[in-house]
């Protein structure tokens, strides 16, 4: 396999997994499923996984058409997406929980699948990655596979969250979540800078 393809896949996968940030969701997930049996928790994770995969696949496959339908440019999406990601990163670095406690009757799709795992940042990133190389089938496949793998790993982590808390302790899990938040902040800065640069080049070209 081409080295560039492998490196691109790793970069896509790392970005998406960092933005999904399952470790930051573990404490909330434990709280939401408190009092439920192991069978009920597993059922919730399965349902959330299916919902998450559907969201990832839809935006990875139809991302181009979604952008065209709303007449959104790549540069505009980069700047807006960077701002969204930076907001999410700052929220994750703070002390506020990403969601309030909810009734655990129907929490698989909302809030676990979305917005806890597959949130605005993940969707924006998928759209950006897909649209970064229009018409490139290999790139589309890389985004799709990276998204699916990151999604499966994220929900897999939730499935073993009870054991993670026992082994790593809540403080360690939160520390990992904070580290992932720093990665997201870095990605956000790159997206904003790249978007602004694209706008500048476009305006400069038009004036000439």
Rg (CA), the chain: 18
In the predicted model, is pLDDT for residue 148 greater than 60? yes
**What pLDDT was estimated at residue 53?**
97
Mean residue pLDDT across the chain: 84
Tokens at 51, concatenated:
């919902």
**What pLDDT was estimated at residue 188?**
83
Neighbours of 32 (CB within 10 A): 21
In the predicted model, what is the mean pLDDT of residues 118-133? 86
In the predicted model, is pLDDT for residue 101 greater than 50? no
CA dist 92 and 41 (Å) reads: 24
In the predicted model, is pLDDT for residue 154 greater than 90? yes
In the predicted model, is pLDDT for residue 1 greater than 70? no
**What pLDDT was estimated at residue 103?**
52
In the predicted model, what is the mean pLDDT of residues 163-167? 84
Tokens at 40, concatenated:
């009920």
Q: How many CA atoms lie within 13 A of 115 on its CB side?
A: 10
Whether cis (ω within 30° of 0) applies to the bond prior to 157 is: no
Q: Tell me what percent of the residues of the chain surpass a pLDDT of 70.
A: 91
Q: When comparing pLDDT for 46 and 97, which is higher?
A: 46
Q: When comparing pLDDT for 133 and 120, which is higher?
A: 133
**What pLDDT was estimated at residue 206?**
65
In the predicted model, what is the mean pLDDT of residues 147-164? 94
In the predicted model, is pLDDT for residue 201 greater than 70? yes
> Which of 114-118, 129-133, 167-171 has the lowest average pLDDT?
167-171
In the predicted model, is pLDDT for residue 106 greater than 80? no
Q: Are 131 and 63 in contact (CB under 8 A)?
A: yes
Q: Are 142 and 5 in contact (CB under 8 A)?
A: yes
């Amino acid at each position: 396999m081409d080295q560039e393809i492998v490196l691109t896949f790793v970069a896509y996968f790392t970005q998406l997994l960092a933005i999904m940030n399952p470790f930051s969701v573990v404490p909330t997930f434990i709280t939401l499923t408190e009092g439920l049996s192991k069978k009920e928790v597993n059922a919730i994770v399965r349902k959330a996984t299916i919902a998450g995969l559907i969201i990832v696949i839809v935006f990875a496959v139809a991302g181009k058409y979604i952008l065209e339908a709303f007449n959104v440019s790549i540069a505009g999406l980069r700047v807006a997406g960077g701002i969204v990601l930076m907001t999410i990163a700052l929220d994750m670095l703070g002390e506020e929980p990403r969601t309030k406690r909810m009734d655990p009757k129907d929490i698989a799709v909302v809030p676990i699948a979305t917005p806890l795992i597959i949130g605005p940042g993940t969707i924006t990133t998928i759209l950006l990655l897909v649209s970064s190389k229009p018409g490139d089938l290999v790139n589309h496949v890389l985004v799709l596979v990276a998204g699916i793998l990151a999604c499966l790993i994220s929900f897999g982590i939730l499935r073993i969250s009870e054991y993670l808390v026992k082994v790593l302790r809540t403080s360690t899990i939160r520390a990992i979540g904070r580290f992932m938040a720093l990665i997201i902040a870095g990605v956000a800065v790159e997206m904003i800078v790249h978007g602004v640069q694209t706008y500048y080049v476009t305006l400069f070209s038009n004036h000439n």
